[in-house]
Amino acid sequence: MHPQALGPMMGKVAEALLGTPNERLSRPRDGVLRFGSHGSMEVSIRDGWFADHESDVRGGVLDLIKHKGGAANDAAAFRWLEERGIKEAAPLEGRQQQASRFYDYRDETGQTVFRVERKQRGQEKTFLQHGPDGAGGFHCKPGCMQGVRRVLYRLPELAAADPSEIVYYCEGERDADRLARDGLVATTHPGGAGKFDPVSHCIAEHLAGRRVVILQDNDEAGAKHAAAGLKKLSAVAERAISLLLPGLPPKGDVSDWLAAGGSAFELQQKAEAAFADADAPAELLQTLDLADLSTRQPVPKSFAIERLAPLAEVTLFTGPGSAGKSLLGQQMATCAAAGLPCLRLAVEPGPALYLTCEDDAEQLHWRQAHLCDALGVPMASLAGKLHLVSLRGALDNELGTFTPDGRMHLAPAYHRLVATLQSIGARLAFLDNVAHLFAGNENDRGDVTRFVSLLNRLASDTGAAIILLGHPNKSGDDYSGSTAWLNAVRSQFNIEHDVETDIRKLKIGKANYAQKGDAFRFMWRDWAFVHEDDLPADTARQMRETVLANADNKLFLTCLAERNKQRRHVSEKPTAQNFAPKVFEAMPESKGIGRKRLTDAMDRLFRIEAIERGFLWRDTGEGRDIHGLRETSDKPS
C-alpha cells in the first residue's frame, strides 16, 4: 500500500498517539485538529497530514507514527497499523515477513548496538538476538553476540529523561514501547525474564539513584522476574518496587492492562501509591498492658461447643465420606439454636449457621425435619435462630483467590459470609466443606496458612466459633493436604465410623484450650446421633447386635457370591465337606469373623428367605446338575 493511501487513517492514528484534541483551538468543520495546551501539534484528518510546529516536523500517517515513537521505519509503522486493526493485515504472500518484528538496542549516542527479533507463529513466540555482521548490518548466527555490549532498551531516551521521573522496567520491548508512546520512561533488557546480569553495568550506570517500578506479568515467570529484578535493582536504585496491576488475565502484562481501559495517568498514580506504602514508617506492634492486666482476673477460653469448638477460633472437623459429618454439623447447629446439649456436650445457646456447598435445600429440609422430630424441637421455634444455607451449584463459593506469586485476595463470597454472620449474630458457624471454599493448593503450606488465617480473621471479627469440615487423605491422616492445616488451627476433632457395627467415635485430635485425646462413642438412631450412654441398655445392646448381625449377613453373602462365581458350590449341611461356614471362615472375604458367626448368619439368612438351596449350573463334563446354596435373587429364570 502506498503511503499516500493511508491518509483516511490519520484520525484513528492521531487518536491513538495524541489522545484528546484541544477543543478550543481545533477546527472540526475543516477537518483540522489541534493537540497540546498551545495547539502546537496540528493534524488534518481530511488530507492525512500532520505538522508539529514546536519540533518543526511534518509528514503523513507513517511519519506521525515514527515521530511519536511508535516505529523505527516504514515497515514497522505498517505493522503498528495492523496490530491495532487500523489497517488490514498484509496478504498471504507477505505474512512470512510480517511475522517478525525487530527492536533496536541503541547506546547513549543513539547508535544501534544489536537488535532483537520477535518471531511469532500463531501463539508461539521466539526471540532472537542479532549482532553486528561487520558490514554495517546485523545477522543472527552462532557467536554473533560475542563481545557485544549489552545495553538497556531505549537507553538514549532513558539517559535523557528527567532523573525524578519513574522508570518502568518491563518484561519485554513491546511493553516498553507502549509506555513510551504514552510519555512514560520505560526500559527492559534482552534475553528474557530474569536475565538481569548481562546488563548489570548498564543498570548501575543509568538507574543509580532513580525510582524504578518493575511491572510484573501475571504468571509464575513474571513473579520470578520481579523478584530477581528487585534483588538486582535495590542495590543501585534510590527505590525499587514491583507492581502487579489489578485485573490482569493469566499471563497478562501492562499492555493488556492499558488495552482493557487503563491509562498512563492511572499507572503513575498506582506507582506513586506503591512507593508511598513502601516508604511509610512501620507501625509498632501493640504490646499487652501488664499493669492493667494485673488488676483483673484472667478468664478461660469460652466454647461454643464444650471441648470441641472455642469461640472466635477456627476448628477443623474431619472424617471420611458417609461418616456423618454433615448430619452431625447440622445437629450441633440445631442444638445451639434450640439451647440443647449435643451428645452430652454443653452447647452455648444462640444463633447458629450451617452452610453447605454439597447438599441442596431439599436435603437440608429433609434432615432438619427428622432432626427436629428426634430432638423434640418444633421447627418453627428455630426461626431466626437456626440459619441453613445451601450453595450447591454456585460457581463463586471460594472465599479467596490466589495470584501466581502466592498472594490471596478476598473474594465476594467472603464479604457475603462476614455480612451474614454479623447480621444474624451467629455464635457458631459450620462451613461444609473446605474443598468448595478453598481455591488454593491443599499441599501448598503458604496457600493453606493464608486461607486458615483468613478464617481466623473471620472468627475474630465475628466472635463466632468457625467449624470447617474437611476430608482425611488417602494415607489415613485426619486431614487432606499439607500439615499446615493442622498447624494453623487451634482446635481439631474427627469422626471415625465402624461400618460393621455402625458405631461412630468422636475424637479430639488437637486442643489448645481443652483436653487432647478425649473420645466418646455415639450411634445413629431415627435420623439423629445419640450418645451411647443415652440409649437404654437393652436398646443399645439390641442396636449393636442388629448392626453386627447385618454386617455378618453381608459378609456371608459376599463369600457365597465369590464361591458361586468360581463355580465351587457350598452346602448348608454341617456334615458336608463343603459346609458353607467351614469353607467361608478360611476366605479373606469373611474378615476373620469365625465359623460360629458365619453359621448364625446362614441361619438368619435362611429364616428371612435371603438364601436357599437350589440348582446352580449344569456340569457338562460329568453330565449332571449342580445344586447348592444360592441367594434367592439368583434363581434361574
pLDDT at residue 91 in the model = 54
Nearest 5 degrees, angle CA 556-CA 561-CA 564?
125
On the 0-12 / 13-18 / 19+ scale of CB atoms within 10 A, 354 is buried
- Dihedral of alpha carbons 371, 375, 381, 384, sign: negative
* 29 Cβ contact list (under 8 Å, min separation 6): none
Mean of per-residue pLDDT scores for the chain: 86
The region of weakest confidence among 190-199, 377-386, 517-526 is 517-526
CA distance 582 to 562: 15
Question: In terms of DSSP H, where are the helices of 492-594?
Answer: 537-565, 580-584
Please give the single-letter amino acid code of residue 617: W
Helices (H) and strands (E) in the chain, counts: 20, 27
| pLDDT tens, residue by residue, 136-177 | 888 888 889 888 999 999 999 999 999 999 999 999 899 999
Average pLDDT over residues 417-442: 91
598, 541 in Cβ contact below 8 A? no
Task: Judge whether 491 and 513 are in contact, CB under 8 Å.
Answer: yes
Kindly list the distances between the CA atom of residue 200 and the CA atoms of 105, 123, 154, 196, 227, in Å, as whole numbers in the listed order: 15, 31, 16, 6, 16
Asked whether the beta carbons of 460 and 309 are under 8 A apart, the reply is: no
Give the mean pLDDT of 353-368.
Answer: 94
CA distances from 452 to 308, 316, 319, 467 (A): 18, 10, 19, 11
What gap in Å lies between CA 386 and CA 333, rounded to an integer? 7
Please count the CA atoms within 13 angstroms of the CA of 608 that sit on its side-chain side.
11
Residue 194 predicted with pLDDT over 90: no
Lowest mean pLDDT among 429-438, 474-483, 493-502, 620-629: 474-483
Q: Give CA–CA dist 65/76, Å, rounded.
A: 9
Work out the angle at residue 349's Cα, subtended by the Cα atoms of residues 353 and 519, and round it to the nearest 5 degrees: 85
Lowest mean pLDDT among 176-190, 228-242, 256-270, 509-523: 509-523
Instruction: For residue 375, give the C-alpha cell.
Output: 430432638
User: Which residue type sits at 334?
Assistant: T
Tens of pLDDT, residues 397-417? 899 888 776 778 888 899 999
How far apart, in whole angstroms, are the C-alpha atoms of residue 33 and residue 22? 7
Say how far apart CA 105 and CA 112 lie, in whole Å.
6
- pLDDT tens-digit series, residues 479-518: 556 677 788 888 899 998 887 667 888 988 877 666 666 7
The per-residue pLDDT for range 1-57, each reduced to its tens digit, is 555 578 888 888 888 888 888 888 888 888 899 988 888 889 998 888 899 888 888
Predicted pLDDT at 96: 43
**Helix or strand or coil: residue 232?**
helix
The structure's pTM equals 0.51
Residue 580 has pLDDT above 50, yes or no: yes
> Which strand ranges, in their side-by-side order, compose the sheet holding 138-139?
100-106, 112-121, 124-132, 138-139
Over range 185-207, report the average pLDDT.
Answer: 89
- Dist CA 496 CA 145 (whole Å): 67
d(CA 388, CA 362): 11
The region, left, alpha or beta by phi > 0 then psi within -120 to 50, assigned to residue 162 is beta
Give 98's pLDDT tier (boundaries 50, 70, 90). Answer: very low
pLDDT in tens, 540-572: 666 677 778 888 899 999 999 999 999 999 999
